[in-house]
Homo-oligomer: A and B are copies of this chain.
C-alpha cells in the first residue's frame, strides 16, 4: 500500500536488531485518517468474505481494528493481556511469546463474545515471528469460529511468521511488506 510505505520511509526509524520504530503514526501516536485508509484496503480484500467480527490484541491493534469495525460494520473484540475485574465470565486463552520483550504471556477473550457462527478477521499492527497472530488464531478456533484471514499493517518478511501462517492455509494480507532493513536506516519493501 503506497501511502503506508511512503509514511514508513518518511517517518519510520530503523534501530539495530531489526527493530522498526513507527511510534509517530502507528503504535504510540496514531494517524486516524491513515488508519481509515488502511481499513478500506482490508475491506477491498475481504469485503465478500462475510466477515462479522474483527479481533485484535491490545494495545496498538485497537485503533486499526476499530477503523476496520467501522468499515466492515461489525463488532470489534480485543484480546486482553490480563484478566480484569471488568471482564465477566469465562475465557478462551492462549500463550504468546514476545520476541520484542523476551516474555511469554497469556491472552484472553471472554467466551461470551466468540461464537461458532462468527467469521473473524484478525487485525494487528505488526507481523514478524507470528506469535501474536498464532495466539489470536487459536482463540478463534477454540470457539469453533472461522478465521477469514488477517489484516496486518506491517509485515517483516525477513522474519518467519508470515510464511509459517500462510503455510497453514490462512490468508494474510499485509499492507506494507518489509524485505530488509539496513544498519544505515534503509528499508526495502517487497
Contact = CB atoms under 8 A, between A and B. Distances in A.
Contacts of A109: 28
Contacts of A78: 28, 30, 59
Contact of A84 (B29, B35, B100): B100
A124 to B, nearest CB: 13
Nearest to A31: B75
Interface in A12-62: 13, 15, 19, 21, 23-25, 27-33, 35-36, 58-59, 62
Contacts of A59: 58-59, 62, 78, 80
A113 B24 CA distance: 7
A108 to B, nearest CB: 9
Question: DSSP class of A's interface residues: helix, strand, loop or mixed?
Answer: mixed
A25 B76 CA distance: 9
Interface string A67-109: 1011001011110100011111000000000001100000001
Copies in the complex: 2
Contacts of A36: 70
A52 to B, nearest CB: 12
B66 A85 contact: no
A122 B142 CA distance: 37
A33 B59 CA distance: 20
A66 B32 contact: yes
A77 B29 CA distance: 4
A113 B65 CA distance: 23
Contact of A88 (B21, B25, B76, B101): B21
A19 B86 CA distance: 8
Interface of A: 13, 15, 19, 21, 23-25, 27-33, 35-36, 58-59, 62-63, 65-67, 69-70, 73, 75-78, 80, 84-88, 100-101, 109-110, 112-113
